Structure 1
Amino acid sequence: MKEMLDKIDRLQQEINKHRPLDEPMLSQFKAYYRIGLTYSSNALEGNSLTETETKVVLEDGLQSAVNR
């Protein structure tokens, strides 16, 4: 158990070396998780949209997705 906690501490220190994130990187993370989590959540509920289609709906709205 101690080995696992030590590894977690080392990984946390590695993450902390990169903080604070610069704005472009932070924006990329937000977009990735916004789209990825929405896609995954919808897929669990049975939605058949692809991740790309989900991205189009989120970024451009439903009407743009229908016209593609």
Structure 2
Amino acid sequence: MDTPNYIYKGTKGVAHFFQNLCETTKTDLDFVRKYLADNADVLKLLLTQVHLEISTRIINKEPEQEDK
């Protein structure tokens, strides 16, 4: 079974979030990983938000927007 597109888009969105976070804060990904490892509650909030986004799309059956 193929991975549904909304899940792929959700994981892609997380990757973009971390990339933007690194660029905005002028840090590297290793620093961000260590921060999230030391602050699991922040990571849990981020993952919860992604889960809610995907769940909302499934429930509302919203059309997916194309990446620009």
TM range (shorter): 0.3 to 0.5
When normalised by structure 1's length, the TM-score is: 0.38
Q: Which has the higher contact order (CA 8 A, sep 6+)?
A: 2
Kindly name which structure, 1 or 2, has the bigger radius of gyration based on alpha carbons: 1
